Amino acid sequence: MRFLTILFFIFCQFPILSQTVNLMYYVSARPGEHGMWVSRQKADGSWIRGEKVKIDSVFDGNGVDPDIFKQADGSLRLYYFQGYFVTQPPQNPEPNPIYTAVSTDGVNFIGKRKVFEYNNVFDPSVVRLPNGSYVMGLTNMVGNVVNTVIATSPDGLSFTYKTTVENTGIPELMVLNDGSIRLYYNGPGGIVSSVSNDGGTTWQKEQGTRLSYQQFVGDPSVSKVGNVLRMYVKGFNANGGQKLVGHKTQYAESSDGGNTFQMQQQLVLDSASVPEGVEMQAKLTLNRMSTNDTACIGEDARFEVSVGIEPSSLGLRYEWQKNGIKISNGGRITGATSSTLNITKTELSDSGSYSVNIFVDDLSTGSLQQNVGPIRLILNPATTLLKEPDSLYVICHDEEVTLSCDAMGSNVTYQWYDIDAKPLPGQNKKELIVRKTTSDKHSYYCMMKGDCGLITSRIARVKFIPKLVIEKDLSQIYELEVGNDTTLSVLTNCTECTSQWYKNGKASKPEEQVVNGKTSIAIKDMDSTKTGTYRVIVRNGCDTIESQACTLVLKQVSTVDEVHSLMMVPQPAESYLYMQIEAAHNQECRLVNLHGIELCSWKLIDGKAQIDISHIPSGIYYVQTLNTFYPCIILH
C-alpha cells in the first residue's frame, strides 16, 4: 500500500443504544478494602462486587457513608462523610465534614469540596426540591440517642443548619409527588418514616412501617429501578454485630410510591454496609469510525471504531465481521476482538464489507449490542507491467515504427519521454509512433503511473537505415589494352548491403556482401571476350539501386601510321557514316553494340565505304575491322 496504513474517520456523537444499570454504593469491610465501593447488578439478579470509588483519582479509606444524587444531566453527585478510619484522628478534631464530588461513570469522581460540617454527624442523604433548593439529612449521635440533623442549600454545594429531628435513625430522604419530603429511618419493626410539608423545617411521624421486617434492618436508601422504588438496607450476616464484617446488604421494593416495601433479596453483598442505590442508563455512543477505504494490494489496512460507554467503568467486547461472517485472529489478522482491526499485507480476497458488533455484557436488565458499519474495503491491484517496447528497432529511413507499452492497475496513465527524460508533448497513450527526424536521438521510454505504483519501461532505441546512395559510380566507357588487368568499383554509403554484378544484362558473379560500402569486379588479361557493358545492383533491406552502365572496350595497340590511316566521319554520325582505311582494300567491317551484338556489316572497296545508319538508334557503338574495335557515336 504506498505502503502506509491510511485511516479515515467519521467523527460523530450520537447515542446508539441504552440499557439500565443498577448500581449500589457501599462501605467494604474486607481487610485492606475499607472505603467506598460501587457494585453492579447483573441481569440474572446477582451482583458484581465492583470497584473502588476514587475521588480525584484517589481511593480514600476514610471516606464513608455514600449518598448518590442523580443530577439532571445524568451525572452522579456523591455526598459522603470523611472521618478517621484508616488514619489516626487529630488530638482536637473539628466538626465532622461532609464532602461532595461528581462523576459521569459512577466510579471516578472529581471536584471534591466540603459542603457542610457539624458536630457528630455522618450518613448524609440529599434531595432536590421542586423549587430547586436542596435538603440534607444527617445522622447525629448524642450518647445513645440518634437524631437527624436537617440542613438546606440553594445549590447543593453549601449547606446551612436548619433543624434537628429527634429520636430517629440513620436517615434517607425522598421527595414525594406532592413536593413533601419523607424521611425514612430504622425503627421498631423495620423501617419507619416522618414527613415534612414545609421544606424540612417541621416533621411529623407517619403511622405504621414502610418496610416491615422481623430482623434488624437500617441505613435505608431509596432509588427508582424501572417502574418501582427499591430500598437498599443493611442487615446482619451470620457473624452478627455492628462491625462491618457482620453486615450484609439486601433490598426491598415498592409499587405504591414508597408507602410500603416488601423484601426481595436477602443478600446482595456480604461484609458491606451503608448501601446506597442508584439507577443509571448504560449508554453506548459512537464517537468515530473509519470510513470506506480504497487501498493497494500489499498495503496494511486498519479499521478503527471509537465507542464511548456510560458509565465508563463498564467493559466493552468487540467482534469484527467481514461480509457478515465473524473474523478470527490469525495469520495476517489481529485485533478481531478489539476496537481496532488490523490486516497486514492485504490481498485481493480481503476486499469486502467490514462491521463490528459491540457488546456490553451483564447489565442489570440485559446486554447492550450494536453493530457498527459497514466499512467497505476496496483493494486495487499494484500497477503491473504487461508490455514494454523492445530495446532496439531497425527500420528504413522512410518508414515509421509503433512503440507500445501497457500496464495493469487502477487509473493507469501513460507518458512517453525521450532519452533526455523530457516528456513528449501529447504522447500520453499506450503507443508512440516514431518517424525519422533530423535529430540523431531516437531513444524513448514510457512511464506508467497508477493508483498503486509507477513503472518505467526499458529504453527503446530506434535505428533508421539511411537511404542507399552511390557515392562513386562507374565510368560510361573504359578502354583496356589486351592483356592488361583492371577493377571496376562502385562506392556506396551502405555497410550492410549485398551487390550483384552484371555483364551485358547477365549476372557475371554471385551476389556478395558489400564491404565498407565498396563493391568491385576484377578484369584479368583483357581480351575481346571481356568487352561489353558492366553494371552493379546494390541492395539492403530498404532500397535497391543500380550503378551507371560502363562499356568496357578493347584498346587496339597500333602504330602511329595505322592510327593515322583510319578516317571515320562524321562523329557523331547522323544518317551516314563515311569510313576509309588506307591499305585495306576489300576488308570486312561490322557495327556492333556495347554487348557485341552485330547490327550491320559492310565491305570496304578500295579501303572506302559509305554506310547507311539511319535505322540504327542513337548510342555508342563499335566498328570492328579484323581484331580492332573503333568507337563510333550515332546521334540522330
Q: What is the CATH number of the domain that holds 214?
A: 2.120.10.10
Q: How confident is the model at residue 18 (pLDDT cuts 50, 70, 90)?
A: low
pLDDT on residue 11: 39
**151 in any annotated domain:** yes
Cα angle 10, 12, 17; round to 5: 120
Indicate whether 124 and 232 sit together in one domain: yes
Mapped onto helix, strand or coil, the DSSP state of residue 84 is coil
Average pLDDT over residues 35-41: 92
Q: What is the CATH number of the domain that holds 604?
A: 2.60.40
pLDDT on residue 635: 86
Q: Is 507 exposed, middle or buried (0-12, 13-18, 19+ CB in 10 A)?
A: exposed
- Give the dihedral of Cα atoms 606, 607, 608, 612; nearest 10 deg: 120
Query: Rounded CA gap, 630 and 620, in Å?
Result: 11
**320 in any annotated domain:** yes
Report pLDDT digits (tens) over 417-469: 999 999 999 999 999 999 998 777 899 999 999 999 999 999 999 999 999 99
Least trusted range by pLDDT, from 303-317, 456-470, 484-498, 504-518: 303-317
Query: Rounded CA gap, 20 and 43, in Å?
Result: 10
**4 in any annotated domain:** no
Indicate whether 275 and 298 sit together in one domain: no
Nearest alpha-carbon partner for 535 in 524, 546, 519, 523: 546
Asked whether the beta carbons of 33 and 26 are under 8 A apart, the reply is no
Cα angle 263, 269, 271; round to 5: 120
**Bridge partners of 52?**
37
pLDDT on residue 556: 57
Average pLDDT over residues 353-357: 93
Query: Rounded CA gap, 13 and 285, in Å?
Result: 7
Mapped onto helix, strand or coil, the DSSP state of residue 188 is coil
- State which of 380, 403, 430 marks the end of a domain: 380
Least trusted range by pLDDT, from 153-162, 276-285, 486-495: 276-285
**1 in any annotated domain:** no
Q: What is the mean pLDDT of the chain?
A: 89
Average pLDDT over residues 79-103: 92
Cβ-based neighbour number of residue 295 at 10 Å: 25
Query: What is the H or E stretch that residue 563 is in?
Result: helix 560-565
Indicate whether 209 and 244 sit together in one domain: yes
**Between 445 and 69, the higher pLDDT residue:** 445
Residue with cell 463490528: 356
- Total domain count for the chain? 5
- Given a cut of 60, whether residue 120 has pLDDT beyond it is yes
Cβ-based neighbour number of residue 600 at 10 Å: 15
pLDDT on residue 147: 95
Least trusted range by pLDDT, from 323-332, 550-559, 587-596: 550-559
Q: How confident is the model at residue 558 (pLDDT cuts 50, 70, 90)?
A: very low
Indicate whether 440 and 317 sit together in one domain: no
pLDDT on residue 625: 84
Average pLDDT over residues 245-256: 90
Indicate whether 446 and 474 sit together in one domain: no
- State which of 363, 380, 397 marks the end of a domain: 380
Indicate whether 277 and 151 sit together in one domain: yes
Q: From start to end of 410-496, where are the E strands?
A: 413-418, 431-435, 443-450, 453-456, 460-465, 470-472, 477-481, 486-492
Average pLDDT over residues 548-577: 74
Q: What is the CATH number of the domain that holds 530?
A: 2.60.40.10
**Bridge partners of 218?**
234
Q: From start to end of 54-144, where are the E strands?
A: 54-55, 63-70, 76-82, 96-103, 108-118, 121-128, 134-142
Nearest alpha-carbon partner for 261 in 190, 204, 197: 190
Provide the residue range defining the domain that includes 401: 384-463
Indicate whether 207 and 322 sit together in one domain: no
Give residue 226's region: left, alpha or beta (phi > 0; psi -120 to 50). left
Report pLDDT digits (tens) over 520-546: 999 998 887 888 899 999 999 899 999
pLDDT on residue 17: 56
pLDDT on residue 266: 87
Residues found in the chain = 636
Indicate whether 272 and 127 sit together in one domain: yes
Q: Is 448 exposed, middle or buried (0-12, 13-18, 19+ CB in 10 A)?
A: buried
Report pLDDT digits (tens) over 146-192: 999 999 999 999 999 999 999 999 999 999 999 999 999 999 999 99
- Percentage, residues of the chain above pLDDT 70: 95
**3 in any annotated domain:** no
- State which of 531, 552, 573 marks the end of a domain: 552
- Given a cut of 50, whether residue 39 has pLDDT beyond it is yes
Indicate whether 517 and 408 sit together in one domain: no
Q: Is 150 exposed, middle or buried (0-12, 13-18, 19+ CB in 10 A)?
A: buried
**196 in any annotated domain:** yes
**452 in any annotated domain:** yes
Indicate whether 75 and 186 sit together in one domain: yes
- Given a cut of 70, whether residue 136 has pLDDT beyond it is yes
Indicate whether 494 and 547 sit together in one domain: yes
Indicate whether 94 and 148 sit together in one domain: yes
Mapped onto helix, strand or coil, the DSSP state of residue 135 is strand
**38 in any annotated domain:** yes
pLDDT on residue 13: 42
Asked whether the beta carbons of 432 and 446 are under 8 A apart, the reply is yes
pLDDT on residue 45: 86
C-alpha distances (whole Å) from 487 to each of 116, 318, 546 are 134, 98, 18
Average pLDDT over residues 574-583: 86
pLDDT on residue 172: 96
Residue with cell 527503446: 460
> Half-sphere exposure of 357 toward its Cβ, with a 13 Å CA cutoff?
13
